[in-house]
A and B are shown apart, each in its own frame.
Chain A
Amino acid sequence: MAGAAKPIVRVQREDFDPAVESEALRRGRADIGALVTFVGLCRDEGGTLQALEIEHYGAMAIAEIERVAAEALSRWPLLGATIVHRYGLIEASGRIVLVAVAAAHRGDAFEAASFLMDYLKTRAPFWKRAHLVGGARGDWVEPRGADDISAARWRAAES
């Protein structure tokens, strides 16, 4: 049966396996022609960052990611989407977020994945704090203006 599946949204402390998540999205389907998987990782910032501590507003995080996913489904003819966002302490090189999008054609899958990440960055209630090499607790990560600009281009595209 073709058509958009309900997006899968998970917010969890545990790690995830991108290969398992994308395989689950395509298994048993012959209508999918494009599967885009994005994984956001914890950078070590030139060897200075030990880990990121990710605080989140659990009850709202799921609801907000589901709203963003529903919007992606309304804009592009997607055949499936999985979004997983972690919280808690994530060591440098660890996985933070997964966005996997399936569609018939690659243009829709690439665009929707990019849209989902831009919107997650500016709307999903998560806050990162740096833990520095040597054990010191660093500052809260400042939002990047570039993220707002990236998110705004999708609104500009509407009008």
Chain B
Amino acid sequence: MKALYFAWVRERVGKSEEEIAPQASVATVDDLMTWLAEKDEAYAHAFEKKSVIRAALDRAHVSHDARIAGAKEIAFFPPMTGG
């Protein structure tokens, strides 16, 4: 699946998008954040406070307990500050 990162999540991770292939045991958005945080220090920094990070699956907001199976695109970002 494609992972997208925005704002300070993007800066901490060091890239705006990438292809990821988590194993099947990574079932939810929360699991995926934990899995990403284990990749290296940059990801660990980005995902150190999971509770503040928002996620979207296939371009719609989801909660952290949403299941990721079947999604083509997942995005992680801080709370929005538009408008």
Contacts and interface: CB of A to CB of B under 8 A. Distances in A.
Q: Are A and B physically bound partners? A: yes
Interface of A: 40, 54-57, 59-60, 63-64, 67, 85, 96-97, 117, 120-129, 140-143, 147
B2 to A, nearest CB: 11
Given A55-B7, A57-B4, A59-B59, A127 B78 contact: yes
A60 B82 contact: no
A82 B61 CA distance: 22
Nearest to A85: B82
B53 to A, nearest CB: 12
B59 A97 contact: no
Chain A CB count within 10 A is highest, among B8, B56, B75, B83, for B83
11 contacts: A40-B83, A54-B82, A57-B4, A59-B59, A96-B83, A121-B81, A122-B80, A123-B61, A124-B82, A125-B6, A127-B81
Interface of B: 4, 6-8, 10, 56, 59-61, 75, 77-83
A20 B20 CA distance: 45
A125 B56 contact: yes
Contacts of A143: 78-81
Nearest to A148: B79
A95 B4 CA distance: 28
Nearest to A118: B83
Contact of A127 (B4, B7, B56, B61): B7
A126 B56 contact: no
A96 B82 CA distance: 9
A125 to B, nearest CB: 6
B75 A121 contact: no
Central interface residue in B56, B61, B77, B79, by most chain A CB within 10 Å: B79
A108 to B, nearest CB: 21
B59 A126 contact: no
Nearest to A99: B83
B80 to A, nearest CB: 6
B56 A57 contact: yes
Contacts of A121: 80-83
